[in-house]
Amino acid sequence: MFDAQGLKDLLGNMQKSVNDLEEKTKSNIYTAKSAGGLVSVTMNGAGELIDLSIDDSLLEDKESLQILLMSALNDVYKSVDEGRKSMAMNLFGDVKLF
């Protein structure tokens, strides 16, 4: 027999878990560096850029700066994405549908 209240409770618990996950995700910090630390970018788990550091030696070489900045940003975005996936897998691993 179909248990509508049970399904409603399950969905309500899942929504709360997703909201909690979003808050936890925001508190995670990810940093990526390129060229041995000449460029460093830091993002939170929501994908918001919270810090950017560029060594003064790169300020005169626009092309190198662009390449290194793109590299660091791509790396940190990958880390944020992997962190989100990992937390989601943990969330859904705890959910028992049956």
Q: What is the CATH number of the domain that holds 45?
A: 3.30.1310.10
Cβ contact 44:29 at 8 Å: yes
* 2 domain residue, yes or no: no
- Render each residue's pLDDT in the chain as its tens digit; 98 residues: 667 777 677 677 777 777 777 788 888 999 999 999 999 999 999 899 999 999 999 999 999 999 999 999 999 999 999 998 888 787 767 555 44
Q: Helix 4-27 crosses helix 62-94 at what angle (to 10 degrees)?
A: 150
* 13 domain residue, yes or no: no
Give how many domains the chain has, as a whole number.
Answer: 1
* 3 domain residue, yes or no: no
Range of the structural domain that residue 69 is part of: 28-93
pLDDT the model gives residue 96: 55
Phi, psi of 87 (to 5 degrees): -65, -40
* 20 domain residue, yes or no: no
* 63 domain residue, yes or no: yes
pLDDT the model gives residue 94: 59
pTM more than 0.85: no
pLDDT the model gives residue 9: 72
pLDDT the model gives residue 7: 67
pLDDT the model gives residue 98: 45
* 15 domain residue, yes or no: no
Cβ contact 73:30 at 8 Å: no
